[in-house]
Structure 1
Amino acid sequence: MSKYLLDKFLFTVDRDPDLVERYREDPVGTVTWWEAEIANSLLNSHSGEDSTWLRFDEVERAALSTHDYVRLFELGAHPFLTLTLFIALFERDYAEPLAFQKEYAARLAHFNLPYPDIAT
């Protein structure tokens, strides 16, 4: 498991409106594409330098592919990265202000301190 890779996915998708829409409409395809094309590139690097070993495990891939932010939180994905991406994905589906954020909090309410470690 790589919390770094989970956070990198959340960070890079959230910063690109086209990727947000792609991930909303086709999460499985987006995760598969991102893992093959982006996962091993260096973050914020334009030099063409890449890694070769980073891959999601099956649990991570399943959580990302089903938009399971509770499972991502359990796995140690950074809660701010998770929240901001999922707001971009789903806030528009709610009529009330902050309704998605309230649902997010309610679905994570069973966690007690200390939260899962978010260090990478």
Structure 2
Amino acid sequence: MSKYLLDKFLFTVDRDPELTERYREDPAGTVEWWEREMAGTLLNAIAAEKTTWLAFDDEERRALREHDHVALFQMGAHPFLTLTLFIAVFERDHGPLEYQKAYGKAMEHVTMPYPDITT
């Protein structure tokens, strides 16, 4: 498992409106494409700088494909990254603050100590 890679996915998809929309419409395809094309690129680096060792495990892929923010948090993904991305993906389907309240409600069962969210 790579908390870094989960956070990198959430961060990069959230920062690109077209990619956010693509993830909303086709999460499985977006996760597959992103892992193949983007996982090896280094943040804030030139395109030639790549690595080949980063990949999601099966549980990470499942959680990303299913937009499962609770599982992502339990794996150590940063909650602010999941919240901001999923607000962009789902808020339009809800009234004011409804999605944020549902996000929090889904996390109610998670008790302290919370998963380590450091990368």
Asked whether the two chains share a fold, i.e. TM above 0.5, the reply is: yes
Helix, strand or coil for the counterpart of 2:20?
helix
1:30 counterpart SS class: helix
Shift of 1:46: 2.0
Aligned-residue offset at 1:90? 0.2
The Cα offsets for residues 11-64 of structure 1, whole Å up to 9 and x where unpaired, read as 000000000000000000000000000000001112511001000000000000
| Separation in structure 2 between the aligned mates of residue 47 and residue 89 of structure 1, nearest angstrom | 27
- The CA distance in 2 between the partners of 1:92 and 1:60, in whole Å, is 25
Separation in structure 1 between the aligned mates of residue 81 and residue 56 of structure 2, nearest angstrom: 17
CA distance in 2: counterparts of 1:10 and 1:114, whole angstroms: 23
Q: Specify the code of the residue in structure 2 equivalent to 1:3.
A: K
The CA distance in 1 between the partners of 2:93 and 2:5, in whole Å, is: 28
Within 1, Cα distance between the matches of 2:97 and 2:44?
31
Counterpart CA distance in 2 for 1:47 and 1:69 is 30
For each residue in 1:81-119, what CA deviation from the matched residue of structure 2 results, as whole angstroms up to 9, or x when unmatched? 010000000000002x11000000000011111110001
Partner residue, 2:91: 91
The aligned amino acid for 1:50 is: K
Cα separation, 2, equivalents of 1:89 and 1:47: 27
Normalising by structure 2, what TM-score?
0.98
Q: 2:106 corresponds to which residue?
A: 107
Q: How many aligned positions are there? A: 119
Gaps of 5+ in 1: none
CA distance in 1, matches of 2:89, 2:72: 15
> Corresponding residue for 1:37?
37
Give the 3-state SS of the residue equivalent to 1:52 in structure 2.
coil
RMSD: 0.7
TM-score, normalised relative to structure 1 = 0.97
In structure 2, runs of 5+ residues without a counterpart are none
